[in-house]
């Protein structure tokens, strides 16, 4: 509260549903929230109805006749994110359990989750799926540990991560029309975007978050705040200020959240600049009106992003 110009809590609770209010108490007040609390919300019931018996969700039909199995995996990742991040559900809910079983069924023998980019390695989605499963109650599952170990063993030489096909100068089309896995060139630079997404899986794991390799990767990402990436995917600086929720890409809020959980200080010069941008963007109402690039209910997403901003300040300054 001392770091912000206006009280951000009142607008969070003003027009919120019960599931969101419980998340406020969980994230800001460190209260235990029953995971079944969001299970009766209209959106959760809708997602449960749409889930296939095998645990995945179908990607909405398109006019394209391409195989949708890879896009089904993406749709399942996004919907599991809603259940876990927005409605506080965990593995005790049958829908989350079924989704976890589905993802573990498509996990490779090497430990990564492959498929969203067809045969290509996906450190970002491997980490994204792993993050959700950790939050859903699987932090010590041997399959989660295998995924985290795969990520550790597939870093670039500079300590971050990149898409393997990008390190070999292939474009994004290779994910659909080249059915051979492209091995990475670890001598090429890492991508801040990919590295930032990968960090989200490590920053919430009680063991791996303390590893020096992860702290060094966090330092690498912090130096990129408000700068362009080296690779074409979401390369422009504008993407730092464009947001989705649940988190899927690298943006200022998701990156600051990870760095705060890794124990970086708010006095870090690059982090300080990011926090100051959030201070400056706060409205007199106490809320933030952020640029949202995906999602049906923009007003609801604004609420969750506003809460995420409050959570960041709480994590950076809560013990000071």
Q: Is the dihedral of CA 251, 257, 259, 265 positive or negative?
A: positive
> By C-alpha distance, which of 188, 291, 191 is closest to 250?
191
**pLDDT > 70? residue 37:** no
Token output for 8: 């951000």
pLDDT at 250 over 70: yes
225 has a pLDDT exceeding 80:
yes
Average pLDDT estimate for 93-110: 97
Residue 28 has what pLDDT? Answer: 86
Token pair for 137: 């109650």
Cα(49)–Cα(284) distance, integer angstroms: 41
Q: What is the pLDDT of residues 271-309, one digit of tens each?
A: 999 999 999 999 999 999 999 998 788 999 999 999 999
State the Cα–Cα distance between residues 292 and 286, nearest whole angstrom: 18
Position 130 scores a pLDDT of 98
Q: What is the mean pLDDT of residues 157-172?
A: 95
Banded model confidence at residue 26, pLDDT cuts 50, 70, 90 = confident
Rounded distance between C-alpha atoms, residue 12 and residue 133, angstroms:
27
Burial label, 93 (beta-carbon count in 10 A; 0-12, 13-18, 19+): buried
The angle subtended at Cα 196 by Cα 7 and Cα 317, nearest 5°, is 30
Contacts of 98 (CB under 8 A, 6+ apart): 51, 54, 55
Cα radius of gyration (the chain): 19
The gap from C-alpha 11 to its chain's centroid, in whole angstroms, comes to 24
Mean pLDDT of the chain: 92
Kindly report whether the global pTM for this prediction surpasses the value 0.75. yes
Sign of the torsion angle spanned by Cα atoms 143, 148, 151, 152: negative
In angstroms, the CA 115 to CA 122 distance is 8
Indicate the pLDDT class of residue 69, thresholds 50, 70 and 90: confident
Q: Cα 245 from chain centroid?
A: 8
Inter-axis angle of helices 269-281 and 252-261, nearest 10 = 130
Query: For residue 120, what are its two tokens?
Result: 């290509």
Is pLDDT above 70 for 132?
A: yes
> Hey, what are 128's tokens?
């994204």
Residues in Cβ contact with 163 at an 8 Å cutoff, skipping those fewer than 6 apart: 117, 120, 121, 122, 123, 124, 191, 194, 231, 233
């Amino acid at each position: 509260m001392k770091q912000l110009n206006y009280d951000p809590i009142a607008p969070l609770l003003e027009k919120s549903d019960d599931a969101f209010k419980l998340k406020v108490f969980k994230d800001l007040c460190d209260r235990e929230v029953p995971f079944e609390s969001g299970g009766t919300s209209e959106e959760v019931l809708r997602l449960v109805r749409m889930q296939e018996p095998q645990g995945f969700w179908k990607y909405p039909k398109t006019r394209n006749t391409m195989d949708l199995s890879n896009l089904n995996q993406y749709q399942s990742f996004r919907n599991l994110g809603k259940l876990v991040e927005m409605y506080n559900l965990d593995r005790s809910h049958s829908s989350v359990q079924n989704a976890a079983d589905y993802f573990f069924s498509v996990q490779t023998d090497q430990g990564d989750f492959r498929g969203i980019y067809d045969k290509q390695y996906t450190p970002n989605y491997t980490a994204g799926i792993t993050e959700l499963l950790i939050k859903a109650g699987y932090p010590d599952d041997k399959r989660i540990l295998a995924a985290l170990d795969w990520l550790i063993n597939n870093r670039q030489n500079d300590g971050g991560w990149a898409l393997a096909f990008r390190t070999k100068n292939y474009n994004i089309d290779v994910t659909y029309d080249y059915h051979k896995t492209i091995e990475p060139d670890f001598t090429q630079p890492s991508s801040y975007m990919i590295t930032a997404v990968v960090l989200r899986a490590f920053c919430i794991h009680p063991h791996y978050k303390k590893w020096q390799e992860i702290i060094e990767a966090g330092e690498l990402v912090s130096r990129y705040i408000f700068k362009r990436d080296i690779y074409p995917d979401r390369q422009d600086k504008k993407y730092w200020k464009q947001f989705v929720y649940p988190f899927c890409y690298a943006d200022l809020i998701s990156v600051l959240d990870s760095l705060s959980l890794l124990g970086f200080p708010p006095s870090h010069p690059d982090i300080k600049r990011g926090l100051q941008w959030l201070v400056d963007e706060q409205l007199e109402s106490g809320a933030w009106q952020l640029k949202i690039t995906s999602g049906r209910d923009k007003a609801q997403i604004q609420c969750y992003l506003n809460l995420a901003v409050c959570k960041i300040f709480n994590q950076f300054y809560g013990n000071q």
